[in-house]
Structure 1
Amino acid sequence: MGEIIILFITLIPLYIVLIWTYFNPEESMLYGQRWMYKEQPEFSKRAIKYTKFVSVNFIVLLTTFLIGSFFFDNYRFRLIFALGVFVYIGYLIFFKLRSEILKSDE
C-alpha cells in the first residue's frame, strides 16, 4: 500500500503538466524552444488537436495505471492491463484520430 501512495505522489507533477498541456497547447509546444523564434509562431489546428488528444490519453493511461496498481497485486495482471490500455490508445490514435483529421482538412 505504501508504494501506491509514493507512486501517486510522484505522478502528481506529471498530472499537472498534462492538464496544463491540455489547456495551453500552444504554450506547451513552445516550452523550451521560445528562444528560437523572433515572433509568436502559429500552430495548425491539427497540431493543437493532436497535443490535446495526447495529453488526455496520457491522463487516462496514468489513471488506469494507478487504478490497476491499486486493485491488482500480481505483476502479470498489471502488465496485461497496461498492454490492453496501450492497444486501445494505439487504436484511437491510428484509426479514430486519423479519420477525424482527414475530415477536418477537407
Structure 2
Amino acid sequence: MHEEDVQSLRESAEEFSVTLRDMAGLHERIKLLEEEIADRVAEHTNRSVLILTAVTVIALPINLIAGFLGMNVGGLPFRYDPCGFWIVMLIAVSLTSLAAWLIFRLRSD
C-alpha cells in the first residue's frame, strides 16, 4: 500500500471514530429525553387520576343516599316526616361538602 492510502485510511478511521462517539452521545441524549417525556406523561396521568378520584369521592354521598331512597322497601328513614326530604338533602349536602373540603384541603397540603 502507498503511504497516501494508509494516511487516507487513518483519516477515515479517525472520522469514523468521531462519528461513532457523536452517535453514542446522541443516543444518551435521546434516552434522557425519552425518560423525561415518560415522566411528564406519568405526571399528567397521575393528575388526571387524582381529579377523577376527587370527583368520585365528592359524588359518593349523593349516590349512596339516592340509591337507598330509590329502593322499594319499607322502613325508609324520614318517610312520614313532612320535612324528611329536606333532612335527607341536608345530610347529602353536608356529606358532599365535607368530602369536597377534605379532598381539596389535602390536595393543597
Q: TM-score, normalization: structure 1?
A: 0.41
- What TM-score does the superposition give when structure 2 sets the normalisation length? 0.40
In terms of Rg, which structure is larger?
A: 2
